[in-house]
Amino acid sequence: LYRSRVDGGAPELVYEEHDPALFMQVGRTAADGFVVLSVAGPDTSEVRLIRADDEEGVPEVLRPRQRGTRYEVVESNDALLMLIHDDSAPGGRVAALDPHDFSVHGECVPPRPGVHIIALTSFARGVLRLQRVAEQLQIVLMQPDGGEHIIAFDEPAYHLAIAPMQAYQTSHVRLVHQTPAQPPRWIDLDLESGAWHEVGGMHLREFDPGAYRVE
């Protein structure tokens, strides 16, 4: 990873990963407080953060890599949330970190039997937790006051996802739901109340979802 000044000059090497088994990517947190440099492989990961108000600063290691431990981080208002998968929490747990010294403040979501946390997506009014329970996907709205709202469905099989590229300051988040017999439909989730409603969907000519049974 190189860094170049917009007013010219030679590129500066910021970080070089020497393990050929690891992938590396760079991005920004949704709240725009940090530049995130992450490396990850099948059984390990490591995140370095550069504060967005100090783009020429040295990347700070969030947690040194350890075989058998994978983690990722999102920024939520004045906190960092770390999703961790390790031997003590194979299904995942979520810890809250101080954004200044990265110390652990506590566990927001403890490990739970039968629950696998897949990802976190942060917005100004809440954090969405994508998880799988009894092999079915759920999206959990984690609100700043600690409240939670679960979005799930009774169908025997379905897919549920968060539409990409949504604004951090949005008040409603667009979700996508579909089943093997039902084309995609779009759902708006209110981050303040946790209520959701369908806003549209894909309709196919000469196709009747009621003619199929999903088991």
**What pLDDT tens digit does each residue of the chain (215 aa) get?**
999 999 999 999 999 999 999 999 999 999 999 999 999 999 999 999 999 999 999 999 999 999 999 999 999 888 899 999 999 999 999 999 999 999 998 999 999 999 999 999 999 999 999 999 988 999 999 999 889 999 999 999 999 999 999 999 999 999 999 999 999 999 999 999 999 999 999 999 999 999 999 99
**C-alpha span between 131 and 119 (Å, rounded):** 7
Task: Please tell me the predicted confidence (pLDDT) of residue 78.
Answer: 82
The region that residue 77 occupies, defined by phi over 0 for left and psi between -120 and 50 for alpha, beta otherwise, is left
* CA nearest neighbour of 107 among 62, 65, 146: 146
How many beta carbons lie within 10 A of that of residue 33, not counting itself?
A: 17
In degrees to the nearest 10, what's the CA dihedral of 23, 168, 94, 57?
A: 60
Residue 26's beta-bridge partner residues? 37
Q: Which amino acid is at 116?
A: H
pTM of the model: 0.92
Three-state SS for 101?
coil
Task: Please tell me the predicted confidence (pLDDT) of residue 24.
Answer: 97
Retrieve residue 137's tokens: 């996907």
Three-state SS for 210?
helix
Task: Please tell me the predicted confidence (pLDDT) of residue 5.
Answer: 92
Task: Please tell me the predicted confidence (pLDDT) of residue 114.
Answer: 95
Residue identified by tokens 């209520």 is 195
